[in-house]
């Protein structure tokens, strides 16, 4: 069993959507029981909150179940999780700062996006609905490739 954590700034837009898409693809690929998933934010802005209504709408429009309560990333998450996926480079830096050391399983989410390797998953918070559809598409591709990677690592 490998434990996967998706991290963004607020833990209401990108990372709960990533967690939901991951769970959805794991189910579709009949890989249930092999991985756990969770999400967290580097900030304390939205602790205890449901995902943003636009993230929920985006998930629902694609038939993806989404449910999460916002929580803040804590350095102990570095010990609990085998893989930590940062949505952007600021999140990546903040995670390292909070952990105080390196983590072998820390990656940028878009390390797994072949066409835009290492790019940020754009923060859709201050934009419109189309920003959330864009994030959904980016996450779907990146997470599909990330699951391929997990299966290669853990056969």
Instruction: Pick one of 10, 68, 132, 147: the residue that binds ligand 4NP (CB under 6 A).
Output: 10
From candidates 4, 11, 24, 59, binder to ligand 4NP by CB under 6 A: 11
Position of tokens 């754009």? 122
Nearest approach, Cβ of residue 105 and ligand 4NP (Å): 20
Q: Collect all residues with Cβ–Cβ distance below 8 Å to 61 and sequence separation of at least 6.
A: none
Residue with smaller CB distance to ligand 4NP, 125 or 149: 125
Alpha carbon distance 5, 3 (integer Å):
7
Among 13, 26, 56, 109, binds ligand 4NP (CB under 6 A): 13
Distance CA 47, CA 129 (A): 23
Query: Which of 5-13, 19-27, 101-109, 137-145 is the region at the interface with ligand 4NP (rule: CB under 6 A)?
Result: 5-13
Residue 7 β-bridge partners: 40, 86
Measure CA 94 to chain center.
15
Q: Which of residues 17-76 bind ligand 4NP (CB under 6 A)?
A: 45
**Closest separation between CB of residue 154 and ligand 4NP, Å?**
28
What backbone phi and psi angles, to 5 degrees, belong to 80? -80, -30
Q: What are the residues binding ligand 4NP (CB under 6 A)?
A: 8-14, 45, 123, 125
């Amino acid at each position: 069993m490998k434990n996967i954590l998706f991290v963004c700034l607020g833990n209401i837009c990108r990372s709960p959507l990533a967690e939901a898409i991951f769970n959805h693809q794991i189910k579709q690929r009949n890989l249930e029981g092999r991985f756990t998933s969770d999400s967290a934010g580097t900030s304390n802005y939205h602790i205890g909150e449901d995902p943003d209504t636009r993230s929920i709408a985006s998930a629902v429009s694609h038939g993806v179940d989404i449910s999460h309560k916002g929580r803040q990333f804590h350095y102990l998450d570095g010990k609990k999780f085998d893989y930590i996926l940062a949505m952007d480079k600021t999140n990546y830096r903040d995670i390292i700062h909070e952990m105080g050391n390196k983590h072998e399983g820390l990656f940028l989410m878009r390390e797994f996006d072949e066409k835009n390797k290492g790019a940020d998953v754009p923060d859709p918070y201050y934009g419109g609905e189309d920003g959330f559809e864009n994030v959904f598409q980016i996450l779907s591709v990146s997470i599909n490739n990330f699951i391929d990677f997990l299966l290669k690592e853990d056969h």
